[in-house]
Structure 1
Amino acid sequence: MKTLYPLFVLLALALAPVPAVAQDGHVDPSVTEQGPGRTAQTLEDILARQRGEAVDDSTRKALIGHPEDAAPMSSPLGTRGGASDPDLWRGLRYDEADVTTLQRGPAATTLIQDNGMWWLEFRHGPLITYGSWLLLGTIGLLAVFYLIRGRVRIDGPKTGRKIERFKFIERMGHWLLAGSFLILGITGLITLMGRKFLIPAFGHDAFSTMAIGAKWIHDNVSWAFMLGLVIIFVMWVVHNIPDRTDIKWFLKGGGLFGGGGHPDAKKFNAGQKIIFWSVILLGASISISGLSLLFPFELHLFGPTFAHLNDWGVPQMLGYGPLPTDLPPQAEMQYSQLWHAIVAFVLMAVILAHIYIGTVGMEGAFDAMGSGMVEEQWAKEHHNLWVAEVKERESAAHKSATPAE
């Protein structure tokens, strides 16, 4: 026991915290004191940085080692040329270290990136929570509206005559866009929410297979979505320019609530124009952010965007400081992924309303994109001005084809 006693004493001394002591024997206050100028990092610093709060680390940021501080080569401490291990890690954190890696990619030297924790918490928290409530709330409101209003029926007697609503190329562009968006929505939700909802239900191995397949499908079907977006824009933009008839359509509630009759409308009414421009603008935004995710080192969106917002003084008007502009590729991808998902949630809610009106919400509406031919009475009730234009063209064509007596 007497032999073990000195060992216990040495062990206790080794485990006891020893404050940093300068060469003159005084404790270095920068290591032990809190506040600006300290070099020791605390747990509160780490948590604050992960929450996105500002942390005064100016003193630590400067302590990355200097060649003139190097010890002689004969000294064991001189092998790093004036930089200790803590100096090296601080250099890595603040992207000041002279790093050489086997990978030569643009993001190879960014080994520590604090924004990742904020991105992960926002993605698993507010993004999934509010996005889910948006979709579920939209479905709930549509269900309530259906229970109150019911299906919008054709008021007048059906004639049995058909009028061509959309040509084959128009329907092809619509279904290319619609089908690809449905696939992208499902695969995107699997990728975004799978870890939270699918792993507990199916396990890690099954979800791994689903996630790999979903990502491959999502990346490749995106090209079909962008092609469909271009097709419908080229074909329908001229018919979706707002005009004065849209104001009257809104004042009558589009005729959806009954009692006021059906308002005048051309080929597309005001509600359909909102759907069109929502799809074009939100779809374009989703496409651009998706391209930045597919090509993260070639297409940077948020650094230049933040620079413009700073120049315009937008953050300052809202009470914030300047937005960061020198973003590493990882941060560009994180911002792009969040924006991609937020805009996609909004567009999915819009499309749910569009699907409702085009199927169970209105009698005869699906025929427009199904066969392309609609009941003439339906067309007169919902798009009377367009029907008049069609009839006028048909009459003019018939007169030109009839030989003069």
Structure 2
Amino acid sequence: MTLLAPIRLVFFAMILVFVGSAPGIAQKLGPDGAPNPTASVTSERELLRQFPRAEGRIDIPDTKASVLIQPAGRTWDYFHEVLLRWGGGMVILGMIAILGAAYLIMGRLRITAGRSGRKIVRFKAFERFSHWLTAVSFVVLGLTGLNITFGKILLLPVIGADAFSSVSQVAKYVHNFTSFSFVAGLVLIIVIFFKDNIPEKVDLEWLKQGGGFIKNKHAPAGRFNPGEKAVYWLSLAAGVFVSVSGFVLLFPFFGTDIADMQIAQAVHAIIAVLFVALILGHIYIGTLGMEGAFEAMGTGEVDLNWAKEHHDVWLARKLASEGRQGEASSTPAE
């Protein structure tokens, strides 16, 4: 009997321990007795606060492969899936709304004196080639890039998952390879038009007259007015940013880590959306917004009266260089 007494004490102690821990065990088991994966004494948020970056041990040289959880990725995902969609949508649709309102209120800016029937060369063939190389590349990049942000909510429900997958895969490759032609065109644009976009004294008078809208007269301008120069410099800056960030994404983890790639993608997306809005304004003015403007990049020649009304200083210089000074004053510009 003396030997059984200690055994009974141990047995009853084990029963008490089991009964005390039963509620915790019940929490970790589901109704059917199977383990409950969602039950935890410590919440996931609390664990991530204590250990913000979970890593494992690997045998390969690529240390990035050891990262199991990176909470910063959730921030990036929220930016890409929510903030970028709403922000980008408002910027692009807002620009379209502004341009639509401008057309309804002001209509198309006509050549006040009417067409003279005489032409003058504004852009040479190679200048137009450089412009259209950049422009076509930009449109392709814009459409294929916007598919990444808005495709799942706009295109996927219309064409279905299989077709959307095929379209997106093709768009990805087209986007990647078109980037090279865009950069080539951008470099040509910078070299060819750089000197004509340097601010000069006549730009101050153009600004004082509000581009001709305030005093209802044609403000003087050189080859490019301050508005066009602003588009040039903003496009140059945006082009450099999207190109650099794009090549970082095109060659992932080439001297970068996950955080760097996330920053590059955010910069690329934000600048690209603003770039699209800027070029929408540029396209509007060059097509619907102003009579005779598209001809400059279409055929390379513009009507003499159009040149007098919008770029009179440039016209006078060009005619003087060609020995045709008399043509500049043969028809009034306003």
- For residues 203 and 225 of structure 1, the distance between their equivalents in structure 2, rounded to whole angstroms, comes to 31
2:85 paired residue among 119, 122, 128: 128
Partner of 1:383: 311
- For residues 187 and 255 of structure 2, the distance between their equivalents in structure 1, rounded to whole angstroms, comes to 20
1:204 and 2:132 are equivalent in the alignment? no
The code of the aligned residue for 1:262 comes to H
Partner of 1:146: 103
Superposed CA deviations along residues 371-394 of structure 1, whole A, max 9, x for unmatched, are 001001101111111111111111
- For residues 44 and 111 of structure 1, the distance between their equivalents in structure 2, rounded to whole angstroms, comes to 15
- For residues 41 and 237 of structure 1, the distance between their equivalents in structure 2, rounded to whole angstroms, comes to 61
The code of the aligned residue for 1:367 comes to E
Contact 2:246 2:268 in 1 (8 A): yes
The code of the aligned residue for 1:291 comes to F
Superposed CA deviations along residues 95-144 of structure 1, whole A, max 9, x for unmatched, are 4x54214xx44632323222111111111111110110111010111111
Displacement of 1:243:
2.0
Change in CA separation of 1:162 and 1:266 when aligned onto 2, cut-off 3 Å: same
Superposed CA deviations along residues 56-97 of structure 1, whole A, max 9, x for unmatched, are x2xx68xxxxxxxxxxxxxxxxxxxxxxxxxxxxxxx444x5
1:17 and 2:24 are equivalent in the alignment? yes
Runs of 4+ in structure 1 deviating by more than 4 angstroms, as ranges, are 11-15
- For residues 355 and 388 of structure 1, the distance between their equivalents in structure 2, rounded to whole angstroms, comes to 27
Contact 1:296 1:332 in 2 (8 A): no
Alignment of structure 1 residues 3-402 onto 2, 5 Å: 16-17=23-24, 41-45=42-46, 55=49, 57=50, 93-95=53-55, 97-101=56-60, 104-105=61-62, 107-255=64-212, 257=213, 259-300=215-256, 329-395=257-323
Contact 2:84 2:149 in 1 (8 A): no
Aligned residue pair count: 295
SS for the counterpart of 2:120 is: strand
Contact 1:292 1:299 in 2 (8 A): no
Displacement of 1:258:
6.7
Give the unaligned 5+ runs of structure 1.
1-10, 19-39, 50-54, 62-92, 301-328, 398-405
Superposed CA deviations along residues 241-273 of structure 1, whole A, max 9, x for unmatched, are 112322221222212x37521111000100100
SS for the counterpart of 1:16 is: helix
SS for the counterpart of 1:111 is: strand
- For residues 15 and 294 of structure 1, the distance between their equivalents in structure 2, rounded to whole angstroms, comes to 55
Contact 2:54 2:67 in 1 (8 A): no
Displacement of 1:180:
0.5
- For residues 285 and 83 of structure 2, the distance between their equivalents in structure 1, rounded to whole angstroms, comes to 30
- For residues 123 and 310 of structure 2, the distance between their equivalents in structure 1, rounded to whole angstroms, comes to 15
- For residues 371 and 12 of structure 1, the distance between their equivalents in structure 2, rounded to whole angstroms, comes to 91
Partner of 2:33: none
Contact 1:248 1:263 in 2 (8 A): yes
Partner of 1:317: none
- For residues 255 and 283 of structure 2, the distance between their equivalents in structure 1, rounded to whole angstroms, comes to 33
- For residues 255 and 280 of structure 2, the distance between their equivalents in structure 1, rounded to whole angstroms, comes to 31
The code of the aligned residue for 1:42 comes to S
The code of the aligned residue for 1:290 comes to G
Relative contact order (C-alpha < 8 Å, sep 6+): which is higher?
2
The code of the aligned residue for 2:78 comes to E
Give the unaligned 5+ runs of structure 2.
1-17, 26-40, 326-334
- For residues 392 and 167 of structure 1, the distance between their equivalents in structure 2, rounded to whole angstroms, comes to 18
Percent identity (aligned): 41
Contact 1:100 1:109 in 2 (8 A): no
Contact 2:54 2:68 in 1 (8 A): no
The code of the aligned residue for 1:279 comes to S
- For residues 303 and 324 of structure 2, the distance between their equivalents in structure 1, rounded to whole angstroms, comes to 22
SS for the counterpart of 1:163 is: strand
- For residues 129 and 284 of structure 1, the distance between their equivalents in structure 2, rounded to whole angstroms, comes to 25
Partner of 1:72: none
Change in CA separation of 1:371 and 1:106 when aligned onto 2, cut-off 3 Å: farther
Give the alignment's TM-score, normalised by structure 1: 0.68
